[in-house]
């Protein structure tokens, strides 16, 4: 069994065939999926889905690209929703310097506010980082994010950065489709380097579909391809990767086995 720790089943791309997508994932051995909401519509949809399916859980927060739209009212709304028993984490939050919708100083302020929110509700955090690695790590350290723990989602950094967030913050490293890309040298290095008890797997579906489906709509059943690639790179069995990454997710998010 596998857990897809980061999937956007709340995306409009699944409006026509959501049940089929879920069925394919379950048949492939993906027995739980964590649905991430990162703005008002996707949070609302995530909450609907976790009430509908007992094997879906929600992670809710505010995306850094939209940090400029973050308000006290939205923060209070997220904090109130976090009391729901199936909300297991806060995110995705962080920094994104690729797009310029939200100024960097606004992104940093909203990032810090959400770490504080996570501490208030005592839930781990899920970090989105794009072209902002050092600033992300600095803020996590300054805000003592180790008090709640969390995930570097769709990790694209170096093995050295992975060591810092694991050893100084107690975080987990999550790998998705890019680890299967032929030219993705760094994710492959990370997959071999990170201790197995600190690794998680994800799809980020409908994005980042793994090889040989690159460029197509992704779906959670393909997290099996991520786990297979990690097993191959580490020279261990698929079953061992599945077992350990599942235990890691259960430990971080305080889930029953």
Binding-site positions for a divalent metal cation read 6, 8, 92, 128, 153, 204
As beta bridge partners, residue 57 has 34
Structure tokens at 45: 């949809």
Task: Round to whole Å and give the CA distance between 19 and 222.
Answer: 16
Q: What is the DSSP string of 105-121?
A: HHHHHHHHHHHHHHHHH
Give residues with Cβ within 8 angstroms of 122, minimum separation 6: 148
Extract the annotated binding site: 6, 8, 92, 128, 153, 204
Place of tokens 């020279």: 235
Backbone φ and ψ of 230, nearest 5°:
-60, -45
Beta strands in the chain (DSSP E): 2-7, 30-37, 56-60, 87-96, 125-130, 150-152, 172-175, 199-201
**Tokens 């690639």 found at:** 229
SS3 82: coil
Cis peptide before 165 (omega within 30 of 0): no
């Amino acid at each position: 069994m596998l857990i897809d720790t980061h999937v956007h089943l709340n995306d409009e791309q699944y409006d026509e065939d959501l049940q089929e997508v879920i069925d394919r994932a379950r048949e492939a051995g993906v027995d739980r999926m964590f649905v991430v909401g990162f703005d008002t519509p996707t949070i609302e949809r995530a909450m609907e889905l976790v009430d509908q399916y007992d094997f879906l859980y929600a992670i809710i927060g505010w995306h850094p690209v939209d940090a400029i739209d973050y308000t006290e009212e939205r923060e209070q709304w997220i904090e109130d929703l976090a009391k729901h028993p199936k909300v297991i984490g806060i995110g995705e939050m962080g920094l994104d310097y690729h797009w310029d919708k939200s100024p960097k100083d606004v992104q940093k302020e909203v990032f810090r506010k959400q770490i504080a929110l996570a501490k208030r509700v005592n839930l781990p955090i899920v970090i989105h980082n794009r072209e902002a690695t050092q600033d992300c790590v600095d803020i996590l350290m300054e805000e003592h994010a180790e008090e709640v723990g969390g995930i570097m989602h769709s990790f694209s950094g170096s093995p050295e950065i992975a060591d810092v967030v694991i050893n100084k913050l107690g975080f987990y490293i999550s790998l998705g489709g890019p680890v299967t890309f032929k030219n993705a040298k760094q994710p492959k290095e990370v997959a071999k380097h990170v201790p197995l008890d600190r690794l998680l797997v994800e799809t980020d579906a409908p994005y980042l579909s793994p090889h040989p489906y690159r460029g197509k709509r992704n779906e959670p059943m393909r997290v099996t391809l991520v786990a297979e690639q990690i097993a191959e790179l580490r020279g261990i069995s698929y079953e061992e990767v599945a077992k350990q990454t599942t235990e890691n997710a259960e430990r971080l998010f305080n889930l029953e086995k």
